[in-house]
A and B are shown apart, each in its own frame.
Chain A
Amino acid sequence: MAMTMTGEVQLAAPRETVWQKLNDPDVLKACIPGCEELNKTSDTEFQAVATTKIGPVKARFKGRVHLTDLDPPNGYKISGEGDGGVAGFAKGGATVALTDKDGGTLLTYNVEARIGGKLAQLGQRLVNGAAKKIADDFFQKFAAETAK
């Protein structure tokens, strides 16, 4: 099933700082809820392991994340696909854009994802809410990281 989500976050840090943090695996690892591993395999690729729970389905996703459309320091597209074993799979991506605003940076994101297997079967009513919460958690932590 398909899922879309858009949002924006106002960050206090300048655009260059935000861009740099967006490309720092340690920062991303600290911010992604349930992230156990995030290893850079090239300048634009990561291997990731993350555990997430959506309704009755708990899944440990293993997957690859890659960055495309790199436009420093204005934005990129981050895409990935994760295999959650018996829980199913998720794949998709987000375009992230940075603009100067009110002395800080406005980050806007646009997510398109597809999920399948048990996640789609059992969790579909909960997926949008769960995804929004994951995004909110991520940006709350990310805002704190950029303020460091």
Chain B
Amino acid sequence: MSATGIGAPVRRKEDLRFITGKGQYTDDVVRPGETRAVFVRSPHARARIKSIDVSAAMSMPGVIAVLTGAELANDKIGNLICGWMIHSKDGSPMKMAPHPALATGTVNHVGDAVAVVVAETKGQARDAADQVKVDYEPLPAVADPAKAQEHGAQQIHEVAPNNTIYQWHLGDAKATDAAFASAKHVTRLDIVNNRLVPNAIEPRAALAEYDAGADHLTLWNTSQNPHVARLVIAAFVGMAPEHKLRVIAPDVGGGFGSKIFIYPEEVICLWAARKVGRPVKWTAERSESFLTDAHGRDHVTHAELALDGEGKILALRVKTIANLGAYMSTFSSSIPTYLYGTLLSGQYNIPQIYCEVDAVYTNTVPVDAYRGAGRPEATFVVERLVEVAAREMGIDPPELRKRNFIKSFPHQTPVIMNYDAGDYQASLRKAMELADVKGFGRRKREAARHGKLRGIGYSTYIEACGIAPSQAVGSLGAGVGLWESAEVRVNPTGTVEVLTGSHAHGQGHETTFAQLVSERLGIPFENVSIVHGDTDKVQFGMGTYGSRSGAVGMSAIVKALDKIEAKAKKVAAHMMEAAENDIEFKDGKFTVAGTDKSAAWGDVALNAYIAHKFSGQELEPGLKETSFYDPTNFTFPAGCHICEVEVDADTGNTEIVNWTAVDDFGTVINPMIVEGQVHGGIAQGVGQALLEGAVYDKDGQLVSGSFMDYSMPRAHNLPSFTIGLTETKSPSNPLGIKGCGEAGAIAAPAAVINAITDAIGSEQVLMPATASTVWAALERANVARQAAE
């Protein structure tokens, strides 16, 4: 292994600019004549817009335009769309209601935009926004997904009776019921997967510029996938033809899924820029982010696990209500279906699974993918059920897991997925060693002496990453393919630029992708640049989410590098007057087999361009290759996280005292970056388990709408993690990579709640398990115990 090749803990190239304030984020981009946009947003969860009076706002200083949904409709700007078709069990297509970028007629959540003010400065735009008079007739709202389908609930969209978007199912209901009928033991749980606000450190932003001479629009925005944004804005919203729209996503400060989607604000900035003839910039304030970034999770689930007398799982039955909010966001329909139901087999050999999911509209912010996207919800269901089943049956939880682990591969689950590689016993065994599970009893007794209840919780999770084989997702309703592209440009001096369709917003691609090229071409790491995030530079790409950039994005680079090597060998053959088949390439040097003739990488690159050694009929000059790589399967990262907590018996306050994570990510390109991803993922999962919760009151007001009321995880909430790896290579991509970006967030919530419930001896703990929640569960358990005695 070289110091900068695959497997080396290379320091991140990009951090120099990030930590010295030299990053270029969307808000840092300043265009000549730039104006600022401020949105007028609904304070009501649901209301009819009786009238909008913009006259006072228009007369305010510095105001250039005040635009409403009526003008948007006049200009025939199309609605935002959801790009994944889900069919209900009766065969009917999902009920997608219109989602205009500015509301007309009715507003459907607090924060729904009704008008935009464009002014010379942000202050002037804000002052004028205050003068836009919107006359609302408030209407009753539905905020609770569990009540959205009730008879008599307010109907939000005409197209969706009972506020139901779809009633989807997966698996064999009859066979599952039969398995339950034969079960010796059934474990039942009611689960709420709490709603989360993404809170990327950089708020969303958009800057649009119209070039009237070329009739061309440019959008700088905070996107995880600029090409998809361009495609949707061109083909569905109809803003401009695709070749007349350039989308640039420069440095982006975190996404976690929330920057995948196409949002109203970027559409409006483009539209307004063309209308006013000047660049228009919008940057969200944090309170706007709370009200407009797509939220995550928000499931209400009843789940049942059937087992035989020896703790062998026979079947799993799940019924989930998934809240998709007021409108269907870009990929929202796929999250509680094909990214959730398909992972319900966990790491276990479960003969029968039946899953029903009802997706509902509510008068809340749209809900879509958030770190893990469906897989944390699935893992939480499976890992809570397995843990509780073990406790109920008096079997040690890791032992019950071992009895049910899938042990041979490939393994076809009853819910579509075909697991191709893994070793679940290995990660459990290693995690139990690293966590010193044997010493837990002693630690528990020691904690008890200090008035603390100590508990241990396991989460043996699986996820599907490397999304995804295009044909497979197409058959499941996806509107796009999920391959990735790469272009490798070798310059005449031998330095290399890689243009990738993956997008980096914290992942460190500029480092890991360069490590791959350095290793493969045997050239210095510093001689490689990674270019991404600009539709004018990079050929079409699908972007970064679902831990796909290693498994799919880097595989595309590998394929392009294969072609580069083949072409370079041709050039070297001409240079050294040898047969192409006799050329060997190793460590940056081309040699003629069995001779001492060789040519350095740089000489071959130069010769490819000066083209003095071959004729144009024999070989095209230049050294640049492209590839579109489509994976053959999902990848299946898996592992075991073990959490130990101490609960203060008097206050219910929970402290996480130990955390052990052993993950199988397949090939690791940069262990330091992987470790960072695991740390961040666990922190986000702990945030969900202990602290974070988006709360709507019954009127649909978001009452956890700022950091005063929405608690993010901080360093003091976390212990120092013990981290280990096991490795089985993914057979579905050339590098054997599985992906690591979401694992921590997927594994962590179940580990935390399993630990707390172990500590307090009650299963009735909802997330976030705040001190008051845990204290109340402790009190209920005490009361129940006393009543029993």
Contacts and interface: CB of A to CB of B under 8 A. Distances in A.
Nearest to A81: B138
A2 interface: yes
Contacts of B375: none
A121 B325 CA distance: 17
Contact of B130 (A2, A86, A115): A86
B708 interface: yes
Interface string A95-123: 00000000000000000001111101110
What interface size band does chain B fall in?
20 to 34
B129 interface: yes
B705 A88 contact: no
B300 interface: no
B697 interface: yes
Contacts of A85: 130-131
A125 interface: yes
Contact of A121 (B40, B129, B290, B699): B290
A89 interface: yes
Most buried by B among A114, A115, A124: A124
B312 to A, nearest CB: 49
Interface string B278-313: 000000000100110000000000000000000000
Contacts of B706: 121-122
Interface string A106-148: 0000000011111011101100000000000000000000000
Contacts of B41: 86
A118 B697 contact: no
A122 B709 CA distance: 8
Interface string B689-725: 0000000010101110110110000000000000000
B130 A121 contact: no
A1 B699 contact: yes
B43 interface: yes
Given A86-B129, A122-B706, A124-B703, A117 B287 contact: no
B699 A116 contact: yes
Contacts of B697: 1-2, 120
Contacts of A86: 40-41, 126, 129-130
Contacts of B290: 121
Given A86-B130, A117-B110, A124-B709, A1 B703 contact: yes
Contacts of A114: 699
Interface string B636-657: 0000000000000000000000
A116 B130 contact: no
Contact of A89 (B43, B126, B129, B702): B43
Contacts of B701: 1, 115-117, 120-121
Contacts of B705: 120-122, 124
Contacts of B703: 1, 120-121, 124
Contacts of A125: 708-709
A105 B40 CA distance: 47
A86 B288 CA distance: 12
A124 B710 CA distance: 12
A124 B40 CA distance: 21
B43 A116 contact: yes
Most buried by B among A88, A116, A122, A124: A116
The 10 A-B residue pairs whose C-beta atoms are closest, nearest first, are A117-B43, A121-B705, A120-B701, A88-B43, A85-B130, A116-B43, A1-B697, A124-B703, A122-B706, A1-B701
Interface of B: 40-45, 110, 126, 129-131, 287, 290-291, 697, 699, 701-703, 705-706, 708-709
5 contacts: A114-B699, A115-B701, A117-B701, A120-B702, A121-B110
